[in-house]
């Protein structure tokens, strides 16, 4: 009996070992003037030359200082950030999506910054500046914004006999029918949209006057089940069915739309304006962009105004140096380079009239709730879109259940 209990006990211990085994990612402890910068992979694929030149400039202005840039993925960078907070080895600069800032600012994760020391701070884009402000203090420096546009193959549009770019979604669908005949490739998409790309889908919702959620006297209320939102979701389903051969359950990075495009799998695609970076040498010369039209002729489909902020974690050992680096990386010269790559610069006085900047004129943004990021990470919208496109649920059923879920998540304390 005694023996049995010892064996049982040791087994319990072994079980505990199997379950509690946890991984931990540790970044190296910062040296006196070594700063670690976390940028998203977008910089790595889109403008690595800017990062390199800013680092060079920074290092010549601060002799002996080194910059260690580590590229992160949107999917897990917050979990990694949490782990570094727990281990007291945070990066000195971190790029945050504008939808991710609120939760971290509210928890006191970032150090306040002196807004006036940054270039063009008086003219920062309103939406981006607001996402980096909390309780009257500035924690995030706008880095860049981006809207979503259509990137298309001019040669295929010509081959299909399309003389005028579509001015409404209906015209675009009609053009898609002609475009489908231009390629014999199996699975060719006239307009490539990943099924669960909610940034595109919600554009349809906002185009029909719908919304995701709204705050009514301190409580969040889901809006996806409203008649206008349902009309938008139905329009998305119809548009997808008519134009895209992408998987109905996949997201916009598995595969990257520009990879499909570069392999000749699409005549056009909806996505970030910097997608032109990666369309492949073969199609580089025959690629152009236009503003995605909405259902009313002549009006743009509202685009998600995405953007990034740069912040300095509160427990960084080199806050002053980190702020200096942000200053260089968001200087007028840097922002102009970002603009040349197809992004929207962070200040109104720098705005031009590119397709991207015109598209940003009609835009939408996610509900500014502390728990919004949980809605994103919980894939509530993606799941709803997959259900709708698969036909597993009617638009109404899927929207109603998603709407309830969103309200529940946003109303957590």
Partner 1 sequence: MLDSSTNAAAGTLVSASRRRRRARDRALHGVVPFLLILPVVAVIGVILGYPLYWLVKLSTERYGLFELIQHKGVWVGLDNYRSVLGDAVFWRTLLRTVVFTIANVALTMVLGTLIALLLVRVSSWVRLVLSSGLVLVWAMPVVVAVQVWYWMTNFQNGVVNYVLTELHIGDFFQHDWYATTFSQLSLTTMLIVWGALPFVVITLYAGLAQVPGDLIEAAEVDGARSWRIFFDITLPILKPILLILTSLSIIWDFGVFTQPYLLIGQSKITTGNYLMSIYLFEEGYFKSDFGRGAAISILMLLIVAALSVVYVRKMVRMGEASA
Q: Contact residues for partner 1 (CB under 8 A)?
A: 3-4, 7-8, 11-13, 15-20, 22, 75-76, 78-79, 82, 85-86, 103-104, 106-109, 186-187, 196, 245, 247-251, 253-255, 260, 265, 314-315, 374, 377-380, 382-383, 386, 390
CB of 17 to partner 1, least distance (A): 5
Of 248 and 327, nearer to partner 1 (C-beta) is 248
Of 82 and 241, nearer to partner 1 (C-beta) is 82
CB of 357 to partner 1, least distance (A): 29
Which residues, including other chains, have CB under 8 Å from residue 111's CB and lie 6 or more apart? 139, 312, 313, 314, 316, 319
Beta carbons of 50 and 337 less than 8 angstroms apart: yes
Of 198 and 283, nearer to partner 1 (C-beta) is 198
Plot region of 387 (φ>0 → left; ψ -120 to 50 → alpha; else → beta): alpha
Residue 334: half-sphere exposure toward Cβ, Cα within 13 Å = 27
Of 12 and 340, nearer to partner 1 (C-beta) is 12
Q: Which DSSP helix (H) or strand (E) runs through 373? A: helix 372-377
Q: How far is CA 405 from CA 212, 223, 299, 342, 413, in A?
A: 11, 11, 32, 36, 15
Of 350 and 373, nearer to partner 1 (C-beta) is 373
DSSP β-ladder status, 93-97 and 34-40: parallel
* Assigned token pair, 84: 């570094």
CB of 177 to partner 1, least distance (A): 19
CB of 249 to partner 1, least distance (A): 5
DSSP letter for each residue of 48-111: HHHHHHHHHHHHHHSTT-EEEEEEE-TTTHHHHHHHHHHTT---SEEEEETTTHHHHHHTT-B-
Of 331 and 383, nearer to partner 1 (C-beta) is 383
CB of 362 to partner 1, least distance (A): 27
Of 155 and 251, nearer to partner 1 (C-beta) is 251
| DSSP one-letter code for 16 | H
CB of 317 to partner 1, least distance (A): 15
Which residues, including other chains, have CB under 8 Å from residue 201's CB and lie 6 or more apart? 233, 236, 381, 385
Say what angle helices 395-410 and 227-243 make with each other, to 10 degrees: 120
CB of 99 to partner 1, least distance (A): 14
Beta carbons of 91 and 313 less than 8 angstroms apart: yes
CB of 315 to partner 1, least distance (A): 8
Of 111 and 165, nearer to partner 1 (C-beta) is 111
CA distance from start to end of the chain: 50
């Amino acid at each position: 009996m005694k023996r049995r209990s010892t064996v049982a006990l040791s087994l319990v211990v072994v079980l505990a070992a199997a379950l509690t085994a946890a991984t931990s990612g540790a970044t190296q402890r910062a040296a006196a003037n070594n700063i670690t910068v976390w940028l998203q992979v977008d910089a790595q694929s889109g403008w690595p030359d800017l990062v390199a030149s800013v680092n060079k400039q920074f290092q010549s202005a601060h002799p002996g200082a080194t910059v260690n840039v580590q590229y992160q993925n949107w999917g897990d960078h917050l979990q990694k950030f949490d782990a570094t907070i727990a281990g007291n080895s945070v990066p000195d600069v971190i790029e945050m999506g504008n939808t991710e800032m609120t939760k971290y600012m509210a928890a006191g994760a970032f150090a306040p910054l002196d807004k006036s020391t940054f270039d063009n701070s008086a003219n920062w884009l309103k939406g981006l500046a607001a996402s980096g402000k909390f309780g009257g203090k500035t924690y995030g420096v706008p880095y860049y914004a981006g809207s979503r546009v259509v990137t298309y193959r001019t040669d295929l549009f010509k081959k299909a006999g399309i003389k005028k770019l579509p001015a409404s979604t209906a015209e675009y669908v009609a053009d898609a029918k002609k475009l489908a005949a231009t390629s014999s490739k199996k699975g060719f998409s006239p307009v490539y949209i990943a099924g669960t790309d909610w940034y595109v889908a919600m554009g349809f919702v906002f185009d029909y006057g719908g919304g995701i959620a709204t705050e009514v006297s301190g409580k969040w209320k889901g809006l996806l089940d409203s008649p206008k939102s349902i009309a938008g979701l139905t329009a998305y389903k119809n548009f997808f069915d008519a134009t895209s051969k992408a998987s109905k359950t996949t997201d916009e990075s598995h595969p990257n739309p520009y990879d499909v495009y570069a392999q000749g799998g699409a005549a056009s695609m909806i996505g970030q304006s910097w997608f032109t970076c990666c369309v492949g040498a073969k199609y580089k010369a025959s690629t152009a962009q236009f503003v995605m039209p909405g259902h009313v002729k002549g009006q743009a489909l509202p685009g998600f105004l995405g953007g990034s902020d740069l912040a300095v974690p509160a427990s960084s050992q080199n806050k002053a140096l980190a702020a200096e680096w942000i200053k260089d990386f968001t200087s007028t010269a840097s922002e102009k380079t970002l603009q040349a790559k197809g992004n929207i610069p962070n200040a109104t006085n720098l705005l031009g009239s590119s397709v991207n900047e015109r598209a940003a004129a009609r835009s939408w943004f996610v509900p500014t709730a502390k728990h919004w990021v949980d809605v994103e990470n919980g894939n509530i919208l993606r799941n709803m879109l997959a259900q709708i496109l698969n036909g597993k649920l009617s638009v109404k059923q899927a929207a109603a259940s998603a709407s309830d879920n969103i309200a529940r998540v946003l109303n957590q304390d």
